[in-house]
Structure 1
Amino acid sequence: MKCFKLLILCSLVQLVCLQGVGSGLNGNLRLCIVEARGTYKRAGKFCPILDEEQSGVECVIGTDRLDCLRRISKGTVDFGPFSPEDLIAAQWANIDVLVTNEIPHRQRSYERTVVAVVNRRILPDSSWSLEAVLRNTSLCHPGNGVNDLRPLSDTLAGYLESLVIARSCESGLSLSENRIKAVSQFFSKACKAGPWVPDQKQDAELKLKYSNLCEACETPSCDANDRYWGVTGALTCLLEGAGDVMWGNLDDVLAYFGLDSQSNQHPSSDNFAYLCRDGTWQPLKDNPKPCVWLNRPWPIVAAKRKTAAAVSKLVSSLQDGALFDGHWHGALSSLLEVREAPTPLYPPRAPLDHLATARGFREAYSQNGCDPPRHINVCTSSLLEKNKCEWMSEAASVYGVTPPFQCLIRDGVAGCLRSVQLEESDVTIVDSDWLVSAMRDYKLKPIMHEVTPIMEQMDTVFAYVRKNENINKMADLRGKRAAFPRFDGFAWHSVIKYLNNEQNGCTENLNDYFSEICAPGIEKYNFTEEVVKKYTKTCYGIDRGLDDGEKAGFLGLIHNKTDVAFASIKTYNSYKVERSHGPAVGIEIIPLCLEENKKYCYIKWANIGHIMTIKNLTSVRSHEIKNVFGKLDQLFGTHQPFHNPMFSLYGPFSHNLDVLFKNNTKRLATDKIFETHPYVGMPLNFEGSLVNDTFDSCHLSHILALNFAPKSAPVVAILTLLTVVSSFLLY
């Protein structure tokens, strides 16, 4: 019996030994990867190879690199490839990971080495301070880019400037303008080509105000098309005598002057020198290890602490012979984007310990700001939104987006609108259903919009009816039963505006026009029970908790509970997909086109989201908000510049869609968007109809006629309606 027990024990020990330490099936290590931009998808090609050849590695596809970090933190994946900037975010977010390997692409210590090159004519006869050497000289600036590598990220460019120039913190200027002013006052002139801030109007104003920073450029437009823009452009600026100093990548300097080549086809470097951070200088020629201002580390592999040793062993096995072997080692190399044998780190390092090996890199992300500090407070209405907002804040801070974000949470959308009104928060983001309430009840305005050029993805209001019901034009809806997706929402106000325009005055309200009305959500406005029942008794599915008002409207059409449903084209397209099965079989629903809008048919259209602020916003604060969100859009939006995204502004978050921003958003834009294609050619815009607070007096009269019974929650809205009803203009 003892021998039998011993045999069982040995078998169990062997089974445990065969189990891996990973979080996947049978202890497999789970690799989190993010697909790169473009049509070529690595996961579809290489992940099946890992499974087929029993590599002990499983793939998990992350939305973005920070999503992979969150998954490692939660223990659902074990490792992944990351950038050094990701490690900064991981440290700020207190994510416990270890760096197991570097992924170099060339045989050298760092991916990027930044040096300063000067014209020898500015060098003194003896050593001076760095400030004394550079003050009142001319700067050839490579330009700020949104890419983390070229020309220079805002964070890295700002760090280099901070080593020479004292910070400016004037309260009457935005943080961006303070930084520009400091550079303008330190250098006599410069070529700082390319956009300074995302907002084009403010960019032009700043370039006019600080024109000496464009004086050294070849063209006065001072844009990214200037011959002196970029690293090579800055070197040309230096070579041609337009400027005295520039920062650039060591590789670019060596290639430009041919210092790593035997060719004689390159410009002479005799008149130039490396300037060091202590104010000394070194020759360009025969100087393989010049003084460095900043090093950027290579991409790395990071793993959760429990699996770090196993991951290090796995990745270190990808040596030269296995990198492109056509089997699972080659597949893993492709997924990690390994081009040279990875460098193991023994023992694996904490993120900050690893970054400390690169001169200046960690310090670039720990610069002090102005005192008192400035923030943009974003109000969120759910814990999920707040979590995404906080990760957005981390990503923005890594890439130097200022002022930084702070994320607040309040009870629902109304709570956030109230928070902005009271100036506890600076902004909140709402959909079109809340636009009227935000402007009317809380005195807010949209400062930017979430936009898409695709009409099918916009917020739209169509009138949908059953085919063959003898309803052929909008006028035929008089006396019919109507279903709205929401009381006091986008569709509600769109129909009121249409009827008001058709009647050329407030002669008939909705209650008179339609025989019955379904308007879910009216129960939240504290009307009498009689009024609530009147406006909800015909709503399909309300007794079963169906809270999708547009879908309920279509079901009401299908089951003959209503004659017209006001809904978006998105819901209509979903209905067409589902029509082949279920209760919609055999029932055809069609849009009823407006006579004056035969091309598009909709009653109104609106952008899919709106960033709301107070109306009396200062110009400085307005510029800061526009530029911060514009920069976010550049860095993390649909057209983000990275090989694979660090953070997805409009992507899914924690497996949820439309968190904080809509997933169909193509960009963030100001009201200027309405002057561009295709929006300028689309009639009946909803936001435009709300300009100058011209809310619908018919709607207000209608509300007051509903026997309003105010209680507690919507006091602000009620008082607003009662006090302004007599002063609103007709459409």
Structure 2
Amino acid sequence: MGFKLVFLFSCLVAAVSAQTYRVCVSTAVSSSTCQSISRDDSQVTCQRVESRVDCALKLAAGQADLGYFSEEETLLLSQQQPNDNRVLATVRDESKLDPYAFETVAVVPANHTRGLDGLSGGVYCHPGLDESDLRWSPRVLKNLEQLAARTDRCPEANTAGKTAEELEVETLSKYFSSGCRPGAWSNNVTVDADLKSRYPSLCSRCGPDSGCSRYTIDMGVSIANVRNENRHIQALECLRTNANASSAVAYVAWQHVVEYFTIRNPQDSPSFAVLCPNGTLASLTTAVLSNTISPCAFIRQPWGAIVANTNNAAALLTSLKTWWPAGSSPATGWQSTLFSVVTGGSSSARVVFQDSPISLLNYTSAIRTISNIDSTASCMPARRWCTISTLEQTKCNWVRVSAHTLGVQPSIACQQRNSVLECLNDIKDDRADFISAPSNYGYLARQHYKLTPVKLVQNSPDDASRVAAFVKESAVISSNVTRYENLRGKNACFPESGGLAYMSFVRVGQERGVLSSSECDYAAAVGEFFGGACAPGAIDASHALSESSSFNSSVLCSSCRTSVNINGNNSTCAWDYTNMYFGNNGTLACLNDPNNDVAFLNTRSMATHLTSLGLQATQFRALCRNNSLAATTGISIDDNCLLAYVVDAEIVTRRNDPQYNSLNTLLDSLDTYFGYNAASGNQLINLEIFSPFNENKNLLFKDSTIGLTEASLSSSHEPARNYIELFRHLQACTGTAPPIAGLANRSFYSIVTLLTMAIMTRFVIY
């Protein structure tokens, strides 16, 4: 029996020592790095993740064991996963091993009175909203002004047509007499420029020719170990030179206060004090300035942390202490590679271990807390994001709390529906505010649901939507179908009624003069031109192409066929896969029907669809937008032959919504903080809004999205400009442009534009 116990104990020890831990690494980490981590006697392997938020989800699900999270991410996780995982250590810098990543303080003249209220009418010196040195979030950057000027409380403000940034700056300009608040006031460049032109007092202390983008004040001589170009040092100099004003304040990091008053201007320290949140003053004595911790702070920031899933936390803490006994890189071996991957590759990184694993909530709450999103005051109403699945709702909630953690305004609310069309209807009826909808719904969103784009997505060239027209080679030979005029009376195939391909034909038909440019009923325009068609959904109320049309749209379903023959009747107009000819694959099947002649469809995956249908590319020839046939048969055509080269999605909201501008700038902020504008590893919160989420694709945005752009012909993104151009005629018919004060749906401008377009069409060269 004794031998058996010894044997079992030995097996148990061996099993424990053989434990393999999965460390989260980004998809950008090379395979060779992961191989180095797993070399020799390593107990660690790579677990690739799309983002650090994905890592948190995998830790909680037991699919990963270890990961690093930034300062702001620890605050996010304390809200989203307060007790799911455990903090093992913090990651600091060898030059700054203080208890906090930073402390924000308000420095005022030593004779300041009346606490925060005493700042009213004074000079405001700020390091800048674009200051990235200490990784301050918008919430941190604006904390003092929110507490002093109450920029989050504006009960009497008229928010219609305004942005959160405008209300904020308007309040600040009334509270402070002057100041320097450099950097971007809005992530929308147009709004930013407008605000700075209207509220110049908040730029007046930045110095000559600053453009409110930086300080240009005279900083005097350079002092060793103090950088004159540091924005916090410049803000303190702004305070010093304006100390004789009725009141003045610099909102800066404590570490730079110490630098400024101990190295650069020690003689001035008796003239200034730290203003505490409770209104008291703390003099800048030698003892105070020699302390790495401020006497009082508005915000103290927790360090970024190494976090483990709860089950393996204790064992991992022991292992990490063994692998990195000094809290630094051991210089060689897999342990060194692991250290570099976990801590971000900085040679000055230092790991400070916890005595024992601690929950995220307990770790952050002792240092800094974020107010509950549902009880936080705001001038702007939350924008309601419509989601269409449980997975989307989950991702939306993470985006919502991430944005709240950073202090992005307005806030976001997430509400789930069952489909894109349900969301479009809810937005129309003011039960939701926006959704990123596939561009295939562009016509329905505008015509049927009375919506308008607030942003368009940007796609890489390979991911943009390409629409083309293909005719049977047999029709080219037997019926001489070589131009759009030759299609009159023929049978056509579309993936869906009112979809992108349908709209592309309407636009080209108007250009070529085969469809009337004065006709706003697109069902009648297409139905009267072709002898028959399959445009799935044409007779469904949700796809109505005109509210007042008397046209019998059934002709647009005459070529459709059901996948299930019921009682000898195989006709259908369903806009799902019970209709054999629904969607791109179905459109090719429709074209293969001997009775049909031409198909309009997205060229994506066309070769795959042909193979699945047993068809050959040589059976078809493209009919180009310029009214010529492609030189050869096949589906490989250049972009000049396309009917449309456009974005694959757009973000839509209600026409004339008074919060349109607020939503527009919110989306710019989401793009800035969670899009590809920020380097993946350097985001304050590494949540990739355009990427897969927890290995699930196309949630909130298609994975093909690389950014957002204005819904304007002036967009720098060609597919976006093309998409707006595609709907210009519809916009002229219905007035679906973004909100313009006083512009009715069928405005005089729209009518004139429609007539002008009709006249211009006559001069198109065929």
What TM bracket, shorter-length normalisation? Answer: 0.7 to 0.9
User: Residues of 2 paired with 1:589 and 1:345: CA distance?
Assistant: 68
Q: Which moved more, 1:550-559 or 1:480-489?
A: 550-559
In the TM superposition, residue 372 of structure 1 has moved relative to its aligned partner by: 8.9
Aligned to 1:153: 137
User: Residues of 1 paired with 2:663 and 2:131: CA distance?
Assistant: 18
Aligned to 2:77: 90
Q: Give per-residue Cα distances to partners, 1:319-347, cap 9 Å, x unaligned.
A: 34972443221121121026444211122
Q: Give per-residue Cα distances to partners, 1:401-450, cap 9 Å, x unaligned.
A: 12211111122112111211221112222111212212222222222221
Please point out which of 53, 60, 67 is paired with 1:80.
Answer: 67
In the TM superposition, residue 521 of structure 1 has moved relative to its aligned partner by: 4.2
Q: Does 1:535 align with 2:551?
A: no
Q: Give per-residue Cα distances to partners, 1:616-648, cap 9 Å, x unaligned.
A: 311xx1222111111101101121256345111
Aligned to 1:134: 119
Aligned to 2:458: 451
Given that 1:605 and 1:684 are in contact with CA atoms closer than 8 Å, whether structure 2 keeps it comes out as: no
3-state SS in 2 of match to 1:393: helix
Q: Does 1:237 align with 2:246?
A: no
Aligned to 2:762: none
Given that 1:28 and 1:58 are in contact with CA atoms closer than 8 Å, whether structure 2 keeps it comes out as: yes
Given that 2:92 and 2:101 are in contact with CA atoms closer than 8 Å, whether structure 1 keeps it comes out as: no
Instruction: Return the letter of the residue paired with 1:451.
Output: Q
Q: Does 1:15 align with 2:11?
A: yes
Q: Does 1:332 align with 2:332?
A: no
In the TM superposition, residue 584 of structure 1 has moved relative to its aligned partner by: 5.5
Cα distance 1:252–1:694, how it changes in 2: closer, same or farther (>3 A)?
same
Q: Give per-residue Cα distances to partners, 1:539-571, cap 9 Å, x unaligned.
A: 9999788787223334666797854332224x1
Aligned to 1:660: 700
In the TM superposition, residue 516 of structure 1 has moved relative to its aligned partner by: 4.9
User: Residues of 2 paired with 1:321 and 1:72: CA distance?
Assistant: 23
In the TM superposition, residue 9 of structure 1 has moved relative to its aligned partner by: 6.0
Cα distance 1:285–1:49, how it changes in 2: closer, same or farther (>3 A)?
same
Aligned to 1:288: 290
User: Residues of 1 paired with 2:587 and 2:374: CA distance?
Assistant: 55
Aligned to 2:25: 33
In the TM superposition, residue 164 of structure 1 has moved relative to its aligned partner by: 3.3
Cα distance 1:270–1:233, how it changes in 2: closer, same or farther (>3 A)?
closer
In the TM superposition, residue 32 of structure 1 has moved relative to its aligned partner by: 1.6
3-state SS in 2 of match to 1:587: helix
Q: Does 1:249 align with 2:280?
A: no
Pairing of 1:196-595 with structure 2 (within 5 A): 196-219=185-208, 222-225=211-214, 227=216, 230-238=231-239, 240-241=241-242, 244-254=248-258, 257=260, 259=262, 270=268, 273-277=272-276, 278-283=279-284, 287-289=289-291, 290-293=294-297, 294-317=299-322, 318-320=324-326, 323-337=329-343, 339-358=348-367, 361-362=368-369, 369-370=376-377, 374-452=381-459, 454-465=460-471, 469-470=476-477, 472-501=482-511, 502-503=513-514, 505=516, 509-511=525-527, 513-522=529-538, 534-537=558-561, 549-554=583-588, 563-569=597-603, 571=604, 574-575=605-606, 583=614, 587=618, 591-595=622-626
In the TM superposition, residue 93 of structure 1 has moved relative to its aligned partner by: 1.9
Aligned to 1:712: none
User: Residues of 2 paired with 1:50 and 1:519: CA distance?
Assistant: 56
Q: Give per-residue Cα distances to partners, 1:209-230, cap 9 Å, x unaligned.
A: 4332122222577442553794
Cα distance 1:434–1:284, how it changes in 2: closer, same or farther (>3 A)?
farther
3-state SS in 2 of match to 1:436: helix
Q: Which moved more, 1:165-174 or 1:650-659?
A: 165-174
Please point out which of 96, 101, 109 is paired with 2:89.
Answer: 101
Q: Give per-residue Cα distances to partners, 1:477-532, cap 9 Å, x unaligned.
A: 44554321112212112213332441352698434544553333458559999879
User: Residues of 1 paired with 2:342 and 2:419: CA distance?
Assistant: 42
Instruction: Return the letter of the residue paired with 1:168.
Output: R
Instruction: Return the letter of the residue paired with 2:598.
Output: V
3-state SS in 2 of match to 1:503: coil
User: Residues of 2 paired with 1:616 and 1:497: CA distance?
Assistant: 26
Cα distance 1:252–1:539, how it changes in 2: closer, same or farther (>3 A)?
farther
Q: Does 1:61 align with 2:48?
A: yes
User: Residues of 2 paired with 1:367 and 1:70: CA distance?
Assistant: 23
In the TM superposition, residue 538 of structure 1 has moved relative to its aligned partner by: 8.9
Given that 1:445 and 1:612 are in contact with CA atoms closer than 8 Å, whether structure 2 keeps it comes out as: yes
User: Residues of 1 paired with 2:410 and 2:396: CA distance?
Assistant: 14
User: Residues of 2 paired with 1:681 and 1:351: CA distance?
Assistant: 46
Cα distance 1:530–1:132, how it changes in 2: closer, same or farther (>3 A)?
closer
User: Residues of 1 paired with 2:720 and 2:424: CA distance?
Assistant: 29
Instruction: Return the letter of the residue paired with 1:34.
Output: S
User: Residues of 2 paired with 1:376 and 1:526: CA distance?
Assistant: 25
Cα distance 1:467–1:13, how it changes in 2: closer, same or farther (>3 A)?
farther
In the TM superposition, residue 102 of structure 1 has moved relative to its aligned partner by: 0.9
Please point out which of 165, 168, 174 is paired with 1:185.
Answer: 174
Q: Which moved more, 1:510-519 or 1:643-652?
A: 510-519
Aligned to 1:669: 709
Instruction: Return the letter of the residue paired with 1:276.
Output: L
Aligned to 1:172: 158
User: Residues of 2 paired with 1:133 and 1:695: CA distance?
Assistant: 51
In the TM superposition, residue 400 of structure 1 has moved relative to its aligned partner by: 0.5
Q: Give per-residue Cα distances to partners, 1:358-406, cap 9 Å, x unaligned.
A: 3xx3257889633798311111122222121111101111111122111
User: Residues of 2 paired with 1:385 and 1:307: CA distance?
Assistant: 30
Given that 2:711 and 2:720 are in contact with CA atoms closer than 8 Å, whether structure 1 keeps it comes out as: no
Q: Does 1:643 align with 2:681?
A: yes
Aligned to 2:763: none
Extract unaligned runs of 5+ from structure 2: 218-229, 544-551, 566-575, 629-637, 737-744, 746-750, 759-766
Cα distance 1:575–1:367, how it changes in 2: closer, same or farther (>3 A)?
closer
Extract unaligned runs of 5+ from structure 1: 36-40, 261-265, 697-719, 721-725
Given that 2:383 and 2:433 are in contact with CA atoms closer than 8 Å, whether structure 1 keeps it comes out as: yes
Instruction: Return the letter of the residue paired with 1:75.
Output: G
Cα distance 1:559–1:145, how it changes in 2: closer, same or farther (>3 A)?
farther
User: Residues of 2 paired with 1:526 and 1:675: CA distance?
Assistant: 31
3-state SS in 2 of match to 1:536: coil
3-state SS in 1 of match to 2:207: coil
In the TM superposition, residue 191 of structure 1 has moved relative to its aligned partner by: 1.1
In the TM superposition, residue 245 of structure 1 has moved relative to its aligned partner by: 2.7
Q: CA RMSD in A?
A: 4.1
Given that 1:605 and 1:685 are in contact with CA atoms closer than 8 Å, whether structure 2 keeps it comes out as: no
Aligned length: 671
User: Residues of 1 paired with 2:216 and 2:311: CA distance?
Assistant: 52
Q: When the two structures are superposed, what TM-score results if normalisation uses the length of structure 1?
A: 0.80
User: Residues of 1 paired with 2:86 and 2:542: CA distance?
Assistant: 55
Cα distance 1:105–1:559, how it changes in 2: closer, same or farther (>3 A)?
farther
In the TM superposition, residue 91 of structure 1 has moved relative to its aligned partner by: 2.5
User: Residues of 1 paired with 2:175 and 2:594: CA distance?
Assistant: 74
User: Residues of 2 paired with 1:329 and 1:671: CA distance?
Assistant: 50
User: Residues of 1 paired with 2:252 and 2:188: CA distance?
Assistant: 26
